A = this chain, B = another copy of it.
Amino acid sequence: MTEVIAKENPNYFLRNAWYVVALSSEVDTQALFSRTVMNEPIVLLRGASGQISALQDRCPHRFAPLSLGKRKGDNIECIYHALEFNAVGECIHNPHGNQRVPGACAVKRYATVEQDGFIWLWMGEPEQAQLALVPNNSLYTEQPETAVGHVYMYNRCSYDLIIDNVMDLSHVDHLHGPLINTAGKLSEQIPKVSEPDDNRVHIRWDWIADPAMLLLREHLPRPEDKADQFVEVTWQAPSHMHLCVGAVQDSPHFHRDGAVLYDFHTVTPETESTTHYFFASSRNYLLGDGDYNRAKMAGMTEAFTQEDKPVIEAQFKNMQGRGFWELKPVVLSSDAGGLRVRRVFERMLKAEQAPVEGGV
């Protein structure tokens, strides 16, 4: 069977929003870093002062990727004819003829913010970028290094399917191996869904586990005994998900007395058919244990790449380029969160793409 490629459809993406374009650790002060978002090739450059620039990765002269070029300090010289662009995308040197820089000689710059181990990109007009909308992940910055990890993964599917995956954690009951398996406890309940505000959807499951999830069990007083457990996910438009998974015994205070995992998952469309997936993870126990941290990060990455990813990519391929609603999906109680997200997202998309009143 041929690989499925969804048709290019710019109307499918919310542009006035922040997306993670790279892990902070992916972009150094020496190289140029290239990544495509919503079909737009983007070059990232970290200046000597550490500041990030994000520019259209296409020289306006003959369309060579600037990411193939040379760094000139904090500027980029195009590999092909040596036009030089500064960190805001202005051409500041043209070695040709009278050396005058043509008026239109500039590349689009994107607003960026670096925060909490991620480089955030605003896909709308840079002037309209709202710093207040960057998701707060200060938790991952405040923790010691030995208790934090950041991961990047590439996926051959549309990004909405990964949001569905995280919003409906009932799949952990069935799809995942013993380390994080929840043994049917999520599926059997009706999760609580709410909308804390206009661009957020919250979903939560609570249950009594006997014993607790394997990953958390050993960090409880009596590993083999019953424990209270919960999972909650807060989606924040357009594609960010804050997760929390906890277990506790003999106390109502998960975060203080129990073992809790904190995760941030976010997806960024490369194209309609391919997705960048980033996550950060931390916890409230063994904060100084770097070996445990490495093993935990490796285990989580493997759970996704070995268990979720093959199924989601097969799901996307099985959709054969057709839309989600077109395929008339059967709705289960566990879909409550994911469907609420789709509704909020579609409302925002419609608003963004509506003709401006009084405009043309």
Chain A residues near B (Cβ < 8 Å):
1-2, 5, 36, 39, 41, 57-58, 60-65, 68, 77-83, 94-99, 102, 104-105, 161, 164, 168, 170-171, 173-175, 184, 187-190, 270-271, 273-274, 310-311, 314-315, 318-320, 327-334
Contact = CB atoms under 8 A, between A and B. Distances in A.
Most buried by B among A2, A78, A332: A332
Contact of A331 (B98, B102, B173): B102
Contact of A105 (B96, B273, B311, B330): B330
A170 B318 CA distance: 41
A61 to B, nearest CB: 5
A171 B80 contact: yes
A62 B163 CA distance: 13
Nearest to A61: B330
Contacts of A175: 79-80
Contacts of A80: 171, 174-175, 311, 315
Most buried by B among A2, A63, A319: A63
A69 to B, nearest CB: 9
Main secondary structure of the interface of A (DSSP, over half): loop
- Which A-B residue pairs are the 8 nearest by beta carbons? A97-B333, A82-B174, A96-B332, A95-B187, A60-B330, A105-B330, A61-B330, A96-B187
24 contacts: A1-B36, A1-B271, A2-B5, A61-B329, A62-B164, A62-B315, A63-B318, A64-B318, A65-B318, A68-B314, A79-B174, A81-B174, A81-B187, A83-B332, A95-B187, A95-B188, A96-B188, A97-B188, A97-B189, A97-B190, A97-B333, A98-B333, A102-B330, A104-B328
A105 B329 CA distance: 9
A169 B68 CA distance: 19
Given A64-B315, A102-B332, 17 more contacts: A1-B36, A62-B161, A62-B315, A64-B314, A65-B314, A65-B318, A80-B311, A81-B187, A81-B332, A81-B334, A82-B187, A95-B174, A96-B187, A97-B187, A97-B332, A97-B334, A99-B188
A310 B65 CA distance: 11
A77 to B, nearest CB: 8
Copies in the complex: 3
B96 A170 contact: yes
Contacts of A41: 318
Contacts of A171: 80-81
A64 B314 CA distance: 6
A172 to B, nearest CB: 10
Contacts of A64: 311, 314-315, 318
Contact of A68 (B82, B271, B311, B331): B311
Nearest to A164: B62
A22 to B, nearest CB: 16
A143 B140 CA distance: 71
